[in-house]
């Protein structure tokens, strides 16, 4: 059509033939296809759509003009509420994934009360909005038919239960397996990796170990076996209740890691901390943005300052235990403007899935006004051997404004990083730092932190 | 027999094991709910049904 901006399908939205999400003129829309018209009508008329939105389980949407539909077969077009920052399950800590799993089951329960059921239970259907998980796929619901099994059972176990069980019973880092397995952790792999003792936990024995064995046994028996399966409504409710109990029963072992304890053992004195907090707060005000990325956020001391200054914050840290602690702390308060995210700046989440476009890389999702890099440059430059000009270049890709802390070699934390290795960093000096960052940024102000050799800089990208 | 309409593959083995697990767990599920409704009747006030309150409610 002439004069109308071209529609672009969101790359990750192709699996379900019932509809897809696209952008036109920067605005996000969802095309709903005729093939799901009956379910879509029931979704409204049963009151489920309104109930899900009212309870904060599903993003709201509003009707849009049908002729916006970019492809044939459209029944309706809606304009969903947009999520500020899109995150993926492999960037969530244990409790974020667990809350997303429980949200999915809660939506299923509500759907059942309205005569409907979930068609899928993908972890990618969940996003975090204002600190809490929320479903984003309005097309996930269909009419419940009596005696039909719960079709998303396998997907729920692979996307949620298996990684949660591995994190709880083996290692908190195993959530990162979702980065390699976009369709969820294969149950045979989960079963092999889980400690033998989990065979005695009824939930994991059933939904992971026996489930995996059944998949193997029935690998060749396609349609016949599956068509004969009937699950009564009561049994389906019992199954879902059991899944919920199993998920709720998973907990991380109480243990700190290197980083989770780090916030408590920084090199600052009380005066130094107060000084740093005051300077960061002032610099954030001066930067005058709306969205901040706090890279190397640890448990979020300075993310909280950014939130107080009015920013929406993505608080990134590479240590799962720090992200876990941060998320739990935020969940117990009313702070909704901070999204803790598990990612390593030296190895940010790659683009994955079909054509490497299905799930965007972390850098592709950068959209902040300000990036805060506090006490992080030395970890990259010395801990990870990244030359300072490359650190600067990466930070410049993230946001036009930067608040960065310079930690000199005489600082005890740098001393600790260098304690067991040769100092191969002759350029690691404030002069080298200024020269490296001066290639990408203009230094607007600098402020030494009281009682500390460290200095905070506020910079603006040279465009 | 009716085909199972699903755009995701529910997996033959997953369907078979789901039916077995659902049968087994429906027994304690039934008794738990029966006890709860009895307690509710006895106390004279409604108790939340077992499967509700799955996730902490969003206080927004």
Nearest-CA distance A203 → chain B (Å): 10
Q: Which residues 11-50 of B are in CB contact (within 8 Å) with A?
A: 11-19, 21-26, 29-30, 50
**Assigned token pair, B43:** 């106390």
Residue A265: per-residue pLDDT: 59
The mean per-residue pLDDT over the stretch B39-48 comes to 74
Residue B52 within a domain: no
Residue A253: per-residue pLDDT: 87
What distance separates the 2 farthest-apart alpha carbons in chain A? 74
Residue A363: per-residue pLDDT: 97
Residue B27 within a domain: yes
C-alpha pair distances (Å), B27 with each of A106, A234, A244, A293: 22, 10, 16, 50
Q: Do A225 and B12 lie within an 8 Å CB cutoff?
A: yes
Residue B33 within a domain: yes
Residue A414: per-residue pLDDT: 92
Q: Tell which residue, A284, A362, A363, A328, has the closest CA to residue A98.
A: A328
Residue A126's beta-bridge partner residues?
A: A135
> Is the distance from CB of A397 to CB of A463 less than 8 angstroms?
no
User: How far apart (Å, rounded) are the C-alpha atoms in residues A187 and A8?
Assistant: 35
> Is the distance from CB of A140 to CB of A52 less than 8 angstroms?
no
Residue B59: per-residue pLDDT: 42
> Is the distance from CB of A23 to CB of A7 less than 8 angstroms?
yes
Residue B1 within a domain: no
**Helix H or strand E segment including B35:** helix B12-43
Higher pLDDT, A251 or B49: A251
Long-range contacts of A170-176 (CB under 8 A, 24+ apart): A170/A194, A170/A195, A172/A93, A172/A94, A172/A252, A172/A257, A172/A320, A172/A321, A172/A324, A173/A320, A175/A89, A175/A90, A175/A92, A175/A93, A175/A94, A175/A97, A175/A320, A175/A342, A176/A90
- Neighbouring C-beta atoms of residue A328, cutoff 10 Å: 16
Q: Do A231 and B10 lie within an 8 Å CB cutoff?
A: no
How many domains are contained in chain B? 1
Q: Is the dihedral of CA A344, A348, A354, A360 positive or negative?
A: positive
User: How far apart (Å, rounded) are the C-alpha atoms in residues A97 and A89?
Assistant: 7
Residue B2 within a domain: no
Residues of B in contact with A98 (CB under 8 A): none
Mean pLDDT by 10 residues, chain A (463 residues): 75 92 95 95 97 97 95 95 96 98 98 97 97 96 95 97 98 97 98 97 97 92 73 96 98 67 68 95 97 96 97 97 95 94 97 96 97 96 95 97 96 90 91 97 96 96 92
Residue B35 within a domain: yes
Least CB–CB distance from A239: residue in B7, B25, B50:
B25
Cβ-count burial of A461 within 10 angstroms (0-12 exposed, 13-18 middle, 19+ buried)? middle
Residue A358: per-residue pLDDT: 96
Residue B20 within a domain: yes
Residue B46: per-residue pLDDT: 57
Task: Kindly give, in sequence order, each residue whose CB lies less than 8 Å from that of residue A105, ignoring residues fewer than 6 positions away.
Answer: A240, A243, A244, A247, B54, B55
Q: Tell which residue, A74, A77, A63, has the closest CA to residue A33.
A: A74
C-alpha pair distances (Å), A394 with each of A168, A389, A461: 34, 9, 12
CB pairs under 8 A between A and B: 143
Residue A19's beta-bridge partner residues?
A: A32
Q: Do B51 and A157 lie within an 8 Å CB cutoff?
A: no
Residue B30 within a domain: yes
Reported ipTM: the value is: 0.88
Q: Look at residue B31 and give its three-state secondary structure.
A: helix
Residues of A in contact with B12 (CB under 8 A): 218-219, 221-223, 225-226
Residue A262: per-residue pLDDT: 53
Mutation for A interface: B48, B50, B55, B59, most A CBs within 10 A: B55
Domain holding B40, by residue range, is 11-45
With 90 as the cut, is the pLDDT of residue B47 above it?
A: no
Residue B44: per-residue pLDDT: 74
Rounded (5°) CA angle A415-A397-A292 = 80
Residues of A in contact with B9 (CB under 8 A): 154
């Amino acid at each position: 059509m002439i004069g109308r901006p071209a529609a672009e399908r969101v790359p990750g939205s192709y699996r379900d033939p019932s509809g897809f999400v696209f952008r036109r003129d920067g605005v996000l829309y969802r095309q709903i296809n005729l093939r799901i018209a009956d379910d879509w009508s029931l979704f409204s008329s049963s009151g489920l759509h309104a109930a899900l939105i009212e309870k904060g389980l599903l993003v709201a949407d509003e009707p849009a003009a049908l002729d916006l539909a970019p492809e044939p077969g459209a029944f309706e077009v809606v304009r969903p509420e947009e999520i500020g920052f899109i995150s993926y399950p492999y960037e969530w800590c244990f409790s974020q994934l667990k809350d997303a799993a429980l949200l999915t089951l809660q939506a299923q329960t509500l759907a059942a009360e309205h005569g409907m059921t979930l068609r899928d239970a993908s972890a990618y259907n969940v996003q975090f909005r204002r600190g809490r998980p929320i479903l984003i796929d309005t097309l996930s619901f269909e009419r419940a038919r009596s005696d039909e099994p719960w079709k998303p059972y396998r997907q729920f176990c692979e996307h949620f239960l298996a990684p949660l069980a591995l994190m709880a019973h083996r290692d908190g880092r195993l959530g990162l397996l979702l980065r390699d397995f976009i369709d969820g952790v294969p149950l045979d792999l989960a079963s092999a990796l889980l400690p033998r003792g989990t065979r005695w936990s009824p939930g994991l024995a059933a939904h992971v170990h026996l489930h995996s064995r059944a998949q193997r046994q029935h690998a060749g028996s396609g349609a016949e076996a599956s068509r004969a399966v009937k699950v009564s409504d009561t049994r389906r409710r019992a199954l879902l209740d059991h899944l919920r109990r199993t998920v709720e029963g998973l907990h991380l072992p109480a243990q700190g890691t290197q980083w989770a304890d780090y916030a408590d053992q920084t090199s600052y004195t009380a005066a130094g901390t107060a000084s740093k907090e005051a300077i960061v707060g002032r610099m954030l005000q001066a930067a005058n943005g709306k969205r901040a990325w706090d890279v190397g956020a640890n448990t979020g001391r300075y993310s909280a300052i950014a939130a107080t200054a009015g920013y929406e914050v993505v608080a990134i840290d590479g240590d799962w235990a720090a992200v876990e602690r941060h998320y739990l702390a935020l969940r117990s308060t009313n702070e909704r403007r901070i999204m803790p995210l598990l990612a390593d700046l030296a190895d940010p989440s790659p683009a994955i899935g079909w054509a490497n476009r299905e799930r965007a890389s972390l850098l592709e999702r950068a959209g902040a006004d300000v990036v805060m890099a506090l006490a992080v440059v030395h970890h990259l430059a010395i801990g990870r051997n990244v030359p300072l000009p490359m650190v600067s270049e990466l930070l410049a890709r993230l946001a036009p404004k930067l608040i960065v802390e310079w930690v000199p070699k005489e600082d005890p934390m740098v001393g600790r990083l260098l304690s067991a290795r040769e100092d191969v960093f002759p350029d690691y000096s404030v002069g080298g730092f200024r020269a490296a960052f001066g290639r990408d940024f203009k230094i607007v102000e600098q402020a030494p932190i009281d009682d500390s050799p460290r200095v905070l800089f506020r910079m603006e990208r040279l465009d | 027999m009716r085909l199972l309409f699903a755009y995701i593959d529910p997996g033959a083995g997953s369907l078979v094991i789901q039916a077995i697990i659902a049968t087994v767990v429906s027994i304690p599920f039934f008794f738990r709910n029966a006890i709860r409704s009895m307690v509710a009747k006895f106390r004279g006030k409604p108790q939340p049904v077992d499967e509700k309150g799955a996730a902490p409610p969003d206080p927004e």
